[in-house]
Amino acid sequence: MNKLEFKHIIPALAFSLIFSSYGQNTVTFTFTGINESSYYLLESITVKNLTQDSDTTLYYPDTVLTIYNVGIKHNQSQPDGFSVMPNYPNPLADRTSINLYLPEKDMVNITIADATGRRLLAYDRFLDKGHHLFFFTPPGEGLYLFSACCNGTSTTIKILAAATCRERPCSLEYSGSIPGDAPLKSVSSTQEFLFSPGDELLLIGYGDELESGFVDCPETSQDYVFQFATNIVCPGMDSLYYDEQWYHTVQIFSQCWLIENMNAGIMIPSTQDQMNNDIIEKYCMGDYASYCSILGGLYFWDEMMKYTNETGGQGICPEGWHIPGDYDWQVLEGAVDSEFEIGSPEWEGNGWRGMDAGGNLKQEGTGLWEYPNTGATDAYGFSAIPGGYFIQNAFWGAGYKGYFWSSDPEGKFYRNMDWNQAMIQKDTGGGGVAISVRCIRN
């Protein structure tokens, strides 16, 4: 199935990721998936800390990763080898689920022991390749060791039964194989996931061969929702009126974008500099106001950011929206490209990148784009248009180039789509060029 196809809607699955670190209260990130307004199964989630270069992956079924200053630290699994995922919930009050993965069909030997090492249960069984779900019910409060051995490889997780756990017979129930093989496109696990409030996180959800992602800088606990619908109006907001103009929205997986280029502010002649004067000023191609109504305004980076240096700042966007940062663009590129996924190293470098992200974002036809408008499909409804640019007191590129700012003060990156190119370009714009602006919803 390609990235534009959707299967039937299946029940929701929530993932929780819990952090506890030096001097910090526990922070909980809860993840669910939806397709428009219907629940959608999340098979896995990758969380990348872009600030501290750390990442971790959560797997189906419900999974909790707990990190303490001292105490229990779960072994992290390697998705391409035999592994046991951290159990959920942990600590438990009744019973807990355990996800075991086999890369090939093999015999698995499982033992459960208490904190003293006394064996409580033993279980041996041939299991097929894939993920398998077990439910463990402890005999009461305490610490238990779940150990699994397969083909000479052994792994152990620690299970904590809370004081509220009632005494009962100890049991281990095999629930069966988990539907699908939890396909992961880009997974990297670490022994500890590093996180501090305010770190920039890249969050990627996977389900039914689709991926959805976004970036956030959480300070406290958050409930996150991955959207798996695309090329629809943003739920709850199909349009908005801002600075005497209507703008329309498009949902591209977990990102909500304005379709039109920004046309905020007053037009000034190209012979006049855009100034820090509390007035939004724009250039219109050829010094014709009519072009701004079609292509949007052209803004120098400082004017677009309202003379602030904040990645992801609101700038000239409406309230509740912001100028996309470089990682916002990287998520979009990975979401729409047919070859390179969200989080791929392909999106980190400058120059022409990807396979067809530019073509899939460009408006179709040659109404605004010059012939041949290579690869243009507008498959996701972004409808990029060639607004051109203004540099050294001259206008260039209308019909040929669509340049769009990012809000990163270091680099002042832009994205470029060309009339004869299906790929997309990233480069440093500096402060000497005025180009188009798109806004993304907070």
Identify whether 3 is part of a domain: no
For residue 147, what pLDDT is reported?
Answer: 94
For residue 163, what pLDDT is reported?
Answer: 62
Identify whether 1 is part of a domain: no
Alpha carbons within 13 angstroms on the beta-carbon side of residue 433 total: 21
Q: Nearest 5°: CA angle at 196, between 192 and 200? A: 100
Whether 437 and 338 map to the same domain: the answer is yes
Domain boundary among 180, 207, 223: 223
- Total number of domains constituting the chain: 2
The residue range of the domain holding 217 is 15-223
The residue length of the chain stands at 442
Whether 199 and 252 map to the same domain: the answer is no
Domain boundary among 223, 243, 275: 223
Sign of CA dihedral 441, 252, 390, 310: positive
Whether 100 and 215 map to the same domain: the answer is yes
Per-residue buried b or exposed e for 414-442, using 16+ beta carbons within 10 Å of the residue's own CB: bbbbbbebbbbbbeebeeebbbbbbbbbe
Whether 261 and 206 map to the same domain: the answer is no
Whether 70 and 112 map to the same domain: the answer is yes
pTM, full prediction = 0.71
Domain boundary among 204, 223, 242: 223
Identify whether 74 is part of a domain: yes
Whether 268 and 407 map to the same domain: the answer is yes
For residue 80, what pLDDT is reported?
Answer: 61
Whether 82 and 189 map to the same domain: the answer is yes
Cα 236 vs. chain centroid, distance in angstroms?
A: 21
- At position 139, the amino acid (one-letter code) is P
Identify whether 77 is part of a domain: yes
Helix %, strand %, coil % of the chain (to 5): 5, 40, 55
CA distance 334 to 343: 7
For residue 328, what pLDDT is reported?
Answer: 97
Identify whether 7 is part of a domain: no
Identify whether 194 is part of a domain: yes
DSSP 8-state symbol, 316:
T
β strands within 259-355, DSSP E: 266-267, 281-282, 321-322, 351-353
CA distances from 418 to 338, 373, 387 (A): 18, 8, 11
Strands 153-161 and 142-150: what pairing? antiparallel
Identify whether 210 is part of a domain: yes
Identify whether 4 is part of a domain: no
CA distance 401 to 389: 8
Whether 77 and 205 map to the same domain: the answer is yes
Whether 359 and 329 map to the same domain: the answer is yes
CA distance 320 to 439: 10
Whether 267 and 310 map to the same domain: the answer is yes
For residue 108, what pLDDT is reported?
Answer: 95
Q: How many Cβ atoms are within 10 Å of 22's Cβ, its own excluded?
A: 7
For residue 237, what pLDDT is reported?
Answer: 93
Residues 6+ apart with CB under 8 A from 53: none
Q: Over its length of 442 residues, how does the chain's per-residue pLDDT go in tens digits?
A: 444 333 333 333 444 444 433 334 567 788 888 999 888 888 888 889 899 888 888 887 654 544 333 223 333 434 468 888 877 777 777 788 888 889 999 999 999 999 888 999 999 999 998 888 888 999 988 899 999 999 989 999 988 887 666 677 889 999 887 654 443 322 333 346 788 888 899 999 999 889 999 999 988 787 889 999 999 999 999 999 999 999 999 999 999 999 999 999 999 999 999 999 999 999 999 999 999 999 999 999 999 999 999 889 999 999 999 999 999 999 999 999 999 999 999 999 999 999 999 999 999 999 999 999 999 999 999 999 999 999 999 999 999 999 999 999 988 999 999 999 999 999 998 778 999 999 999 9
Structure-token match 């052994």, residue found: 154
Whether 147 and 179 map to the same domain: the answer is yes
Whether 64 and 185 map to the same domain: the answer is yes
